[in-house]
Amino acid sequence: MQYFYFDHNATTPVAPEVLEATGSCLAEAYGNASSIHHFGQIAKQRMETARRQLADLIHCRPADIVFTSGGTEADNMSVLGVVRGAAGPAKHVVTSAIEHPAVLGPCEQLEQEGVAVTRLRPGPDGIISPEDVAHALRRETVLVSVMHANNELGTVQPIAEIARLAHGAGAVLHVDGVQALGKIPVDVEALGVDLYSMSAHKLYAPKGAGALYVRKGTSMAPVAYGGHHERDRRPGTENVPGIVGLGAAAELAGRNLAAEAERVGGLRDRLEGALLERIPGAGVNGSRAARTPNTSNIYFDEIDGEALVIALDLRGFAVSTGAACSSGALAPSHVLTAIGLSADRARASMRFSLGRSNTAEQVDALVEAVAASVAHLRRISAHA
């Protein structure tokens, strides 16, 4: 059976150009980038080339890029580092209820340390209102953390306006950009962000590498200790092959960004239009305008999302639900319930995230598979 991949927001296949760059690095640049001898300097040069490639993609200075193990580490460095490093006995954080657990988890930890946290709920469109951000800001607010694009809905937040409000209140703005990078243009200077998290494996590069943009002058306490790597921002020997892969992926994304966004957006619209026409009791969750071009989150009433994932996998299609399995019990997605969906509708929702390998023929085949699977599952449910 032939399989087709529609789960690019979870992870992406490694692009051939990236695989070549990573493999070459593994074979030829095996030195420690901190070593001053010939082999170490070769690794250092490869790493600094990757730093420039990534900086070019997000329009910043190479010196502002800190390499990490991925988006989760970058988020933790930002949230914990800024708040713990801020002066004053009373501290406050503003974030959103639809953030990735890599942000929500550190916020929960900070609450245990006595920090106040406000979690803003979006509207039904999945967008955080700048007015709500303004109302939530306090004199003791030290950090605002709002993601650029949501991993489940694809909705894009008004970051530039939120940045203006945060800075007006004297707060640092952190943005989880993991799901935006490579899908929409990112200019950290124009957006006005202070910290921007990125992940390699969402960008057709290997897992285990990521980066954090740190605006010059942004104060952060360390969250790990043990070395002076990455300008004292992040200790530990750098994953040079992974970093080189991230750099190659960034260069590739920059070359094809506009054309690929238009192509994938057309496929996403083709998928949505056909599914909504073919299947009654279906609808799109969140905004259909302000979102990344590759992401669609659709509910199919009277369907169990996990059962639909399995049914589609058996037909040769990889997709994901908007729900997560926790402690053996299927819990509705915190993102979907935050925008007002009932638990049942949240559990009946499916995320389709397209990428470079997808074609119109694959989309049409997916539509047929979804329509047949939904009809079958509804028949089973009706006779249960």
* Residues assigned a catalytic role: 325
Q: Which two tokens stand for residue 349?
A: 């929702």
Radius of gyration of the chain (CA): 21
18: which residues sit within 8 A by CB, 6+ positions away?
Answer: 204, 205, 206, 245, 248, 249, 252
Q: Which residue has the tokens 């979907």?
A: 336
How far apart CA 268 and CA 360 sit, in angstroms, is: 10
Q: Contact 254/52 with Cβ under 8 angstroms?
A: no
Q: Give φ, ψ of 163 to 5 degrees.
A: -60, -45
Give the pair of three-digit tokens for residue 193.
């962000």
Q: Which helix (H) or strand (E) holds 19?
A: helix 16-28
What one-letter code names the amino acid at 104? Answer: L
334 Cβ partners below 8 Å, 6+ apart?
97, 98, 104
Residue 94 CA to residue 92 CA, distance in Å, equals 7
- 3-state SS assignment for residue 330: strand
Compute the distance between CA of residue 174 and CA of residue 350 in angstroms, rounded to an integer.
29
Q: DSSP label at 62?
A: G
The residue type at 219: S
Rounded distance, CA 224 to CA 301, Å?
46
